[in-house]
Amino acid sequence: MPTIVVEVMPKAELLDPQGKAVAGALARLGKTEFSGVRIGKRFELTVDGEITDAVRADVEKIADEILSNSVIEDVVAITYPEAE
Amino acid sequence: MPTIVVEVMPKAELLDPQGKAVAGALARLGKTEFSGVRIGKRFELTVDGEITDAVRADVEKIADEILSNSVIEDVVAITYPEAE
């Protein structure tokens, strides 16, 4: 069954405390080549049957309204499986 | 500054309660074309300077040891920016 990937990140201008914590851990481990870390979410939606235009429209609506909070997050990518 | 994306998902055989909750919400909203939802994490690591082989090796190690818990998660993708 085809799987669609929706990727959501916190808005760039927002503080990302979790990301800062990971960046701090990397620096303490001597991995100083990284200047920043940001953490978001990755959704895999498995579709029953074909990915039609209607499904694509639904996914975009769901991504904006359910999978992300448009006040603090951006949908940065929606990836459809290559047509087999 | 170049950004490397690391994507981590819960292992397929594990229960994903958050994913189940979202799938349930989609069904209640009448979006019945989706048979499953799984939720993972997406990390953006900003690199100071060039992405050398040493940086790539570091990212792979960090992805396995810090950004994911190998007992319950898999690193499903590490994406480097196209060389400009």
In angstroms, rounded to a whole number, what is the distance separating the alpha carbons of residues B16 and A65? 21
pLDDT confidence of residue B82 = 81
Instruction: Please tell me which of the candidates A36, A42, A67 has its beta carbon nearest to residue B40.
Output: A42
- Beta carbon pairs, A and B, within 8 Å: 96
Q: Tell whether the model's pLDDT for residue A26 goes beyond 90.
A: yes
B 46-75 → A contacts, CB under 8 A: 46-49, 55, 58, 62, 66-67
Query: What does the DSSP assignment read for A23-74?
Result: HHHHHHTT-TTEEEEEEEEEEEEEESS---HHHHHHHHHHHHHTSS-TTTEE
Q: In whole angstroms, give the CA distance from residue A22 to residue B42.
A: 13
What's the fold here for domain A3-79?
Mth169; Chain: A , (3.30.1280)
Contact: B45, A62; criterion CB under 8 Å: no
Instruction: Please report residues of B whose CB lies closer than 8 A to that of A1.
Output: 35
Question: Rounded to a whole number, what is the distance in Å from the CA of A83 to chain B's nearest CA?
Answer: 18
Question: Does residue A84 register a pLDDT over 60?
Answer: no
Please indicate if any CB of chain A lies within 8 Å of the CB of B36. Answer: yes
Confidence check on the interface: ipTM exceeds 0.85, yes or no: yes
Summarize pLDDT for A49-70 with one digit per residue, the tens. Answer: 999 999 999 999 999 999 999 9
Confidence of residue A82 (pLDDT cuts 50, 70, 90): confident
Tokens of B71: 């007992």
Question: Comparing B84 with A77, which gets the higher pLDDT?
Answer: A77
**Domain locations along chain A:** 3-79
- pLDDT tens string, chain B, 84 residues long: the values are 899 999 999 999 999 999 999 999 999 999 999 999 999 999 999 999 999 999 999 999 999 999 999 999 999 999 999 865
- A30 close contact with B: CB closer than 8 A: no
The pLDDT value given to residue B10: 96
Q: Residue A83: its pLDDT value, please?
A: 65
Provide the pLDDT for residue B84: 53
Say what the pLDDT of residue B1 is.
87
